[in-house]
Amino acid sequence: MMDFYDRLARSEVGDEIVYHTGLHCLDSSTALYRKLPNPKAAWESHLRGDVILYQRRVGKGQFDYIAKVLK
């Protein structure tokens, strides 16, 4: 499976990258919540202005976390 940066490099403007599906995109298996690798990469890309981030409900307690490619 390609990581977020590989998918972003192959994307075109307007493409949507679903980088996580679930209740939330934090690793809650440890005492300290931390972002998983793909959500962290998506957030860094958002800060650079490469994508906008949003979520779409796909079921009860389930969300697709999406990065829409801007450039």
- The shares of helix, strand and coil residues in the chain, as percent rounded to the nearest 5, are 25, 40, 35
User: Which residues are paired to 62 by β-bridges?
Assistant: 59
pTM: 0.80
Closest to 48 (Cα-Cα) out of 21, 22, 19, 69: 69
Instruction: Give the number of residues written for the chain.
Output: 71
Kindly indicate the confidence band of residue 21, based on its pLDDT and cuts at 50, 70 and 90: confident
For the chain, the domains span 4-69
Q: Is the pLDDT of residue 30 over 80?
A: no
Alpha helices in 24-71 (DSSP H): 37-48
State both tokens at 28.
């809650």
